[in-house]
Structure 1
Amino acid sequence: MALGPRLDIRQSQSLVMTPQLQQAIKLLALSNLEIEAFVAGELEKNPLLESGGAPDAQPAPDGVDRTEDRPALSAETGASDDLIAQGLGGTDSPLDVDHGASTFIDDGPGDRMATDGVSTGGSGGGMDMLSGGYSEDAPDFDSFAAPDIGLQEHLMDQARATLSGMDIVIATQLIGQIDEAGYLEANLLQTAHGLGVPLYDVERVLGVIHTFDPTGVGARSLSECLALQAKEADRHDPCMARLLANLDLLAKGALPQLRRICGVDEEDMADMIAELRGYDPKPGLKFAHDRAAPVTPDLFVRATREGWAIEINSATLPRVLINRSYYVELSTGPQDRNSKAWLADCLASANWLVKALDQRQKTIIKVASEILRQQEEFFRQGVAHLKPLTLRAVADAIGMHESTVSRVTSNKYLSCPRGLYELKYFFSSGVAASGGEGGAVSAEAVKSHIKALIGAEDPQAILSDDTLVDMLRAKGMDIARRTVAKYREAMGIGSSVQRRRQKALKGKAA
């Protein structure tokens, strides 16, 4: 066999991840608010793009809204627009991403989107898939905004108004070591050594901080925090002081022992416990900045006479238009080779963005409509009727790949008459039905039953986990005791012993 260089021709297939394909996949996983930020960046980079659909737009002199006719791009028409009529259709090259074929990784030929409106029939009526969203009925989330000032800035404002000189330096050191709940984490002796001041001065400044708003801030323990609030309310008598010094007995429910220590009767003890329940054990949290951010729904589900309607929240979904007239104006002027290439690039990018956003919207509607069809009993009767559902089940039903459904349901929220839910909420594991009849029951439905049973239990007859198992099996749910305990702990519900103690204390304080 001769050794030497030679040329061979080989034929092979490979999947090329173009930048546009990667971005199209990424768009599926973004929420409407994230899409808005992405589109804002594209509007800055691409002069052919412009935002449209503003509610205060002025109509044309002839009364025709021409903005509705300008973005004549869809999955059906492609690039059939005014450019073709002007003989400039050659510059409107097709996109690298062909949404009419299998475009996403691992998606088969069945992963094709219908170009017409999506309509799925369900029991009780059809579901009209609308592209509009709520405007006036959308919830107002402005009231959930976090405060403008943090706890430490609030305390420093009070310190500057009260203290001066070296006391300000000590207060700054102490306030800097107060956590978000309002508790002081500093060692006073180490702080005094570090600043080179007597311990007495540090303790005196801390006493001033204890008078700041909110009451109880700067405490070094729960007992001290509640004591500061009791002093503010003029309820810190010797009996209350002894109660605060034995909070561990109160947590255990040792009321007879506490009454002996405090020297009070049952009525006074009940009044003292009721007083403590009115105090704030974490006074600094009202100034915390890391509150849960308000969630804006991406989809709305509402009942109509014909069945269910799913609507995209257009209030948070930007509308992108292609300025064709501006493109024609630029393309007909004098240009060099680089300018022509840049303009063609801008047009291709604009075409891709419009198609990608339209395809994303259709995909979300299609996935959400299948979730609604599968979980229709939940929307009609509540969480107790939630069914076990997997990504694969939805993907097989709509002819998509499981990874596509996973991306669509990420960071998306659905608002319905029963509340606001993440799309991932509707996917849960199942618990076998007792006797092997009736199919499986969703884990969320089981949690709902457990919460309802515990919420309705008699304070004199607290339900144990074994009793809960028997009651759930009577409802048709075959579940083990350890599973009941796991679900109960996941919901933050204590054991039967803890609940009995808590309800006894609540009864005393009532």
Structure 2
Amino acid sequence: MKAGLNQSTQLKQELKINPRLYQAMDLLYMPLLDLQQHLKQELLNNPFLDMVEPDDEDEEEGTEEPAAEQEQQEEQKEKDDEIDWEEILLDGFDTGGRREEHEEKEYYEPVTVDTRDLGDHLRDQITLLDLNPRQLMLADEFLGNINEDGYLDCPVEEIVASINDVVRASAEERDLDPDEAPVFTEAEANEMLRIVQSLDPPGVGARNLRECLMLQLRDAGLEHSVPYRLVRDCFDELIAHRWSEISKRFGIAPSDVQRAADEIAKLDPKPGLLYSAGTDNYIIPDLIVDKIDQRYHVFLNDANLPRLKLSKAYQEIARDKKKFDGESKEFISSKLNSANWMIQAIEQRRQTMLKVMNYIVDRQRDFFEKGVQFLKPLTLREVAEVINMHESTVSRVTNEKFVQTPRGVLPLKFFFSSGLSTTDGEDVSARGIKDQIQKLVQGEDSKNPLTDQAIVNILKKGGVNIARRTVAKYRDQLGVLSARMRKRV
């Protein structure tokens, strides 16, 4: 076959999503605080958008002011606005013109102030110690390898090797023999580790959990106690709750082993988190469910959300098409269409959220009346089919959204879970089953804890068909240990 170039025509269909559709999906996804910031940004960027002021709402509802006088005032106000805004708008479009200062300013997001963390806390203590420059250099290397849990992430040997590389490189820069550089010894590093482990909080600088607990017991003056001996000499058996084996090994009563284990359980396995620089997470509910006259009503918690309208002044300017052409005309058309679309998209978001939450309230009425054990199974697909929307739309509406209810502030995802069948043919939510398992474990006899099979039998008596492996899975998700691990002597 002869190689060459040729041209041909072809027809094909392609599915392209409108960029505004992406924006609409983003608006559905945004929690209340994010949406509030987004709308404020839009108000700054789009001159055709304006905020609905309380005075505007009063005017819409009607006032007792004489109609002629009110109309005259409105015309005067619009005239003033038109003069001011036209000057700003035209100056911005003229070649070489200058926009007003308020249009040039950038929008800055408010940020939280910097907070102190564990490293700052430890360095403050190091500066109070009588250490020479060489020791301070080694101490800084150790502190740089302590994670936010308070543990030393790097072996001592690697810390020594790392800092010695720096020492040798410094010697080369000063034209000295690297082999004669004053490198750090492992003995110096071990002594510095001892100093770091003596700092507050107790347990900091430990290389593993066992050492962390021993440091805390030593700091409390319990170095010769039974708990210290158990952690030091039989840590694996202690974790496995082998009370009888430990009792025989140390010649003490099983009850004494149990009491020692209880004291160890009070220690902090992650002491560094006390000084971690965690961010503050504030939850503002997007929706409110309130019971009024024996009926549940759904409201949007959007009182602080900017309400948008089209700017009358800019609309009047846009109508005079003779003043604008080229880039000016394109700018006006783009911004006006964007403003109209934004107002419609916000309203669509409101209606979608209300539809989803109203169905959830109708479906989960027993939960609101009686509690979590009466929560019914619910899926995104079920909601999507009822409100005639796509499942992905419902997922965006419920993601990272919270609702204030008579039973507390809950994430919308709380109401969605798989279900199990009961003996009478009804369905019960997996979340409700977990709550029952939690209460059964809390009320059990600690000397004879309930096994997974015993929990299965109790639930079956209550009409719930469930497998033992499902109980074990739910128990693990709740963070509940097995019956053998929960048993006390």
Same fold (TM over 0.5): yes
Contact 2:150 2:205 in 1 (8 A): yes
Deviations 1:241-274 (A, max 9, x none): 4222123232233445545666766786566444
- The alignment status of 1:296 with 2:306, answered yes or no, reads no
1:366·1:398 contact (CA, 8 Å) conserved in 2?
yes
Number of residue pairs matched?
414
Q: CA deviation at 1:67?
A: 5.3
Alpha-carbon distance change, 322 to 461 in structure 1, aligned in 2, over 3 angstroms? same
- The residue aligned with 2:439 is 452
Q: Deviations over 1:310-362 (max 9, x none)?
A: 12122563433332224425655943442133123212211111111011011
- 5 Å-filtered alignment, 1:288-437, equals 288-289=276-277, 293-314=281-302, 317-329=305-317, 332=320, 334-434=323-423, 437=424
Q: Secondary structure at the match of 2:298?
A: strand
Conservation of the 8 A alpha-carbon contact between 1:310 and 1:369: yes
Higher alpha-carbon deviation: 466-475 or 232-241: 232-241
Q: Per the alignment, in what secondary structure is the counterpart of residue 66 of structure 1?
A: helix
Q: Name 2:48's counterpart in structure 1.
A: 48
Distance 1:314 1:219, change over 3 A: same
Asked if the contact 1:300–1:313 (Cα under 8 Å) also holds between the matched residues in 2, the reply is yes
- Whether the 8 Å contact between 2:227 and 2:261 is mirrored in structure 1 is no
Instruction: Give the aligned partner of residue 190 of structure 2.
Output: 203
TM-score, normalised via structure 2 length: 0.75
Please give the alpha-carbon distance, in whole angstroms, between the structure 1 residues aligned to 2:13 and 2:254: 84
Aligned twin of 1:179: 147
Please state if 1:234 is matched with 2:221: yes
The CA deviation at 1:301 is 1.3
Unaligned runs of 5+ in 1: 54-58, 60-64, 72-81, 87-144, 505-510
CA distance in 2, matches of 1:489, 1:292: 29
Larger radius of gyration: 2
Cα separation, 2, equivalents of 1:393 and 1:240: 54
Larger proportion of helix: 2
SS at match of 1:179: coil
Question: Cα RMSD between the aligned structures?
Answer: 3.4
Q: Give, in angstroms, the shift of residue 7 of structure 1.
A: 11
Paired AA for residue 282 in structure 1: K
Residues 1:255 and 1:476: Cα distance change in structure 2 (over 3 Å)? closer
Q: Distance in 1 between matches of 2:114 and 2:274?
A: 9
CA contact (8 A) 1:387 1:441 kept: yes
State the distance in 1 between where 2:373 and 2:113 align: 34
Rate the CA distance shift 1:7–1:172 in 2: closer, same or farther, 3 A.
closer
Identity %: 35
Letter in 1 for 2:155: N
The corresponding residue for 1:32 is: 32
Q: In structure 2, the residue corresponding to 1:460 is in which secondary structure?
A: coil
Pick aligned residue for 1:471 from 439, 458, 461: 458
> Is the 1:242–1:261 contact (alpha carbons within 8 Å) kept by the matching residues of 2?
no
User: SS of the residue aligned with 1:302?
Assistant: strand
User: Residue type of the partner of 2:26?
Assistant: K
More relative contact order, 1 or 2 (CA 8 Å, 6+ apart) = 1
Asked if the contact 1:146/1:289 (under 8 Å) is kept, the reply is no
The one-character-per-residue Cα deviations of 1:353-381 (angstroms, maximum 9, x if unpaired) are 11110110111011100110011111111
Conserved 8 A contact 2:231-2:238: no
CA positional deviation for 1:389: 1.6
**Where in structure 2 are the equivalents of 1:14-93 lying within 5 Å?**
17-52=17-52, 65-66=55-56
Structure 2: segments with no counterpart, 5+ residues: 1-6, 62-73, 79-111, 165-182
Are the equivalent residues in 2 in contact too, given 1:377–1:385 (CA < 8 A)? yes
CA contact (8 A) 1:178 1:184 kept: yes
